[in-house]
Structure 1
């Protein structure tokens, strides 16, 4: 099975979004940041009440509100920051070989990717897991690296999905 497709900057950003929203490490980091900052706000309120000789409740209310706002709005900011940093990396030229025209060939032994920087062979056993969003398949060959396979020119997306799931034993 052979596919010709183009990986755009947007497809690369979609991969980064997918990775950030599905990585246990990233989710754990987000949770820690969502919890620790509001706790620091409350500790700061208690500390300032002693330093400024003000009632604790008087300072606790605005800091509590700040903590709630942080907890609610921080995840959107966090994911936007990841997307912005990925966009910066691509525009600085660090996406060479990732973006552009690609040919992906699925064989019985594995996959072969041809791009402007060369050709890569990967056995099916080297693909750790697969991921998918509405636009792309992600074939992870390491914890943080994946082949991005665009669905936009595929005639039989379900057939490709079945093939990938039959060849790759660990599924996300």
Structure 2
């Protein structure tokens, strides 16, 4: 099977957002940040108002509102930072080859990814896990990087299913398959 497709900036943004959304460590860090930020605002604001002798129901309400903004706004802010950082990385001259036309050739024992300044051969046994979103397959060989295959690369649903079956054939744990 041979697939020809283009990887765009949006494909990389989608990959990073998928990772941001589905990685337990990232989500735990964001939760801790949300709680810590809200607690600092409440405790710091209360201490400040107590120190300047301005602590009353209104100042407490203001700091509670600011803490709520911090708690509920952190995920939005972090998601925005993921997008901005991905765009910045892709603008870097050393990363220009990440986007553009790609060819993925599936053979019996291995598959090959060809593109500008890249020609990599991967073993099916090396696939650690796969993930998917509304428009892509992500094939992980380690925790942080993946081959992105947009669904637009497939001619039909049968080709998409055949691809999935070949890529995931050597992954024993069903939980690691998308």
* TM-score (ref. length: structure 1): 0.91
The Cα of 1:4 is off from its aligned counterpart by 0.5
Runs of 4 or more, structure 1, over 6 Å off, are none
Matched position secondary structure for 2:103: strand
CA drift at 1:59: 2.3
Cα displacement string for residues 86-137 of structure 1 (whole angstroms, at most 9, x for unaligned residues): 1011012242332111111122212211111131011112111001112111
Q: Are 2:129 and 2:139, in contact at CA under 8 Å, matched by a contact in 1?
A: yes
Q: How many residues align?
A: 172
2-side partners of 1:168 and 1:106: how far apart?
Answer: 16
Are 1:171 and 2:177 matched, yes or no?
yes
Aligned match of 1:160 in 147, 158, 163?
Answer: 163
Q: Which residue does the alignment assign to 2:14?
A: 14
Moved more, 93-102 or 24-33: 93-102
Structure 2: 5+ residue stretches without partners? none
CA distance in 2, matches of 1:53, 1:42: 16
Moved more, 32-41 or 19-28: 19-28
The question of whether the paired residues in 2 share the 8 Å contact of 1:45 and 1:56 is answered with: no
- State TM-score, norm by structure 2: 0.89
Could you tell me whether the CA contact under 8 Å between 1:42 and 1:64 is conserved in 2?
A: yes
Change (3 A) 1:127 1:70: same
Aligned-residue CA RMSD (Å)? 1.6
Contact kept, 8 Å, 2:130 with 2:138, in 1: the verdict is yes
Please list the CA deviations of residues 43-65 of structure 1 after superposition, one character each: whole Å capped at 9, or x if unmatched.
11221132101235342211101
